[in-house]
Structure 1
């Protein structure tokens, strides 16, 4: 399903084509959750703005450090919304049979809380030097208790650190965690999966759209 959603984004958002310079341009950087809701954000905006997602999955902050310059490129973005977290707080073990080798019992965490803090600080510092775009951080979404590679409490722990970094750098915060928890209870893929049904992604997309739309009023 994620693959089909990604292909939809490439089609809907004109990946690999030149942007219409008359329209406001928004870049969304994030994991599979953002991949899921981005097409709906694009649909809500219609002709108001061009919405683009970084190619593929932004994974964890370590991947972000490696690829952030490439993702931003030389485009004159008006807004960049970014997120890392779900991959950072995931535990993985090479012998695990779970998707993505997730294993919170025997696995190793991808990024410790300290590493996550340091990486986020470096990423925001770089982004602010690279672009004049208005920056928005979207908090990590809900983690159900029975998820194989993640502890539910870690989502809020990592969000607390992220909010501190964003406050330090003056970055706006779109706090998706509270609404994502409610949406997941009705439109999630169950208590072992952090992902959502198409209807769930549509609800998340609406929240992201409303936040971005309010910020576009300044342009």
Structure 2
């Protein structure tokens, strides 16, 4: 049985994409997954095909939005899974990591992960903006020091899986974002890069890839999210990174 698997982490919230954990555990058949309505649902996970690598995507709404297209681009090459719901911030990820790693099929050989957009977001309970975002009077979710500490612990745990790890950089923060400051995406990406370099972890620069197509692919001014075409564009980069890892693993298998 081939046990190669990939875990993709990273994400924000998109309306309508918050099924319960139990629902996400229900595995869809290949027919449902690739031809039916469920194919369009990011949280409908495939049955484990022993002949193919397994890919698990974990993350926020950015990864939620590109999951289905990654699944489609890797159809026939890998079974693409993802966590139930939103990966949120690094503290939430650290608290839930063991549970996510134990999801079916439970064996991950390649992990592609991301956090950051939630971490660097300022929130204020008095704010009237969606998500209580407020970069003027709000409190940051995770300071750079907290982000570093959480990410170091996450990496240490992920390394215990013996998986090939791929870090996905934080996508751009646009001008006018209500709860996020310009340049913080770069600051937090630098922190993450230091950790990944120190641990010999591959980096997928989705930030740079997104910049090549902005502003055309942004969903609206001041929003970190992307259009459907934009998410499909990001999916191409993610799927390409995963496919390269799968190819290299096949070359080294006896």
> Into which bin does the TM-score normalised by the smaller protein fall?
over 0.9
Secondary structure, counterpart of 2:42 in structure 1: helix
Instruction: Indicate conservation of the 8 Å contact 1:142/1:184, yes or no.
Output: no
**Higher helix residue share:** 1
State the distance in 2 between where 1:64 and 1:128 align: 15
Which position in structure 2 is the counterpart of 1:154?
184
Displacement of 1:24 after TM fit? 0.2
1:60 aligns with 2:89: yes
Distance 1:132 1:22 in 2: 20
The equivalent of 1:10 in structure 2 is: 43
**Larger Cα-atom Rg:** 2
Q: Does 1:46 align with 2:75?
A: yes
Unaligned runs of 5+ in 2: 1-12, 20-40, 250-254
1:23 paired with 2:56, answer: no
> How do 1:96-111 and structure 2 match up within 5 A?
96-111=127-142
How many equivalent pairs are there?
214
Residues 168-207 of structure 1 mapped to structure 2, 5 A cutoff: 168-207=198-237
**Could you tell me the TM-score, scaled by structure 1's length?**
0.93
Q: Is the 8 A contact 1:184 1:196 kept in 2?
A: no
What TM-score results when the alignment is normalised by the length of structure 2?
Answer: 0.81
Structure 1 segment 130-145 matched on structure 2, within 5 A: 131-145=161-175
Distance in 2 separating the partners of 1:150 and 1:90? 5
Structure 1: runs of 5+ lacking an equivalent: none
Alpha-carbon offset, residue 6 of structure 1? 6.0
> What is the CA distance between 1:78 and its match in structure 2?
2.4
Deviation at 1:5, TM superposition (A): 5.2
In the aligned structure 1, how far is the partner of 2:60 from the partner of 2:213? Answer: 18
Q: CA deviation at 1:178?
A: 1.1
- The residue number in structure 1 matching 2:147 is 116
Deviation at 1:4, TM superposition (A): 4.1
